[in-house]
């Protein structure tokens, strides 16, 4: 229950931000896995935009639309091969008004 409340809150926060979503071309992809690594699992808590979520099969999924491009997931999970990480194409992604 606590997690659900936090999730709504983060979504509310992201609602303040401007994004230009590159539909159908997510810039981060989670590699298929049976069981998430510790770091990948940590992202379901640590991603500041709550892009990472656990599905009912216990695997981690990503919805990168609200991504603030901080790079935390890259630091934790690129090396181990959990994710494939890129910046969005030029012009797409988050557009900070204040930054």
Under the rule (CB under 8 A), what is the footprint of another protein?
A: 6, 9-10, 13-14, 16-17, 20, 38-39, 42, 45-46, 48-50, 68-72, 74-76, 78-79, 86-91, 93-99
Q: How far is the CB of 86 from another protein (least distance, A)?
A: 7
Q: What is the Cα Rg of the chain in Å?
A: 13
Distances 55 to 38, 58, 59 between C-alpha atoms, Å: 16, 5, 5
Smallest gap from Cβ 6 to another protein, in A, equals 5
**Smallest separation, CB 22 to another protein (Å):** 11
Distance of CA 34 to the CA centre of its chain: 19
């Amino acid at each position: 229950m606590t997690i659900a409340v936090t999730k709504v809150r983060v979504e509310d926060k992201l609602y303040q931000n401007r994004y230009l979503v590159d539909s159908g071309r997510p810039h981060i992809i989670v590699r298929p896995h049976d069981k998430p690594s510790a770091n990948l699992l940590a992202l379901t808590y640590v991603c500041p935009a709550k892009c990472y979520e656990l599905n009912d099969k216990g695997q981690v999924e990503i919805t990168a639309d609200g991504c603030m491009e901080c790079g935390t997931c890259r630091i934790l999970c690129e090396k181990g091969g959990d994710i494939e990480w890129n910046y969005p194409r030029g012009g797409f992604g988050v557009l900070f008004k204040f930054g």
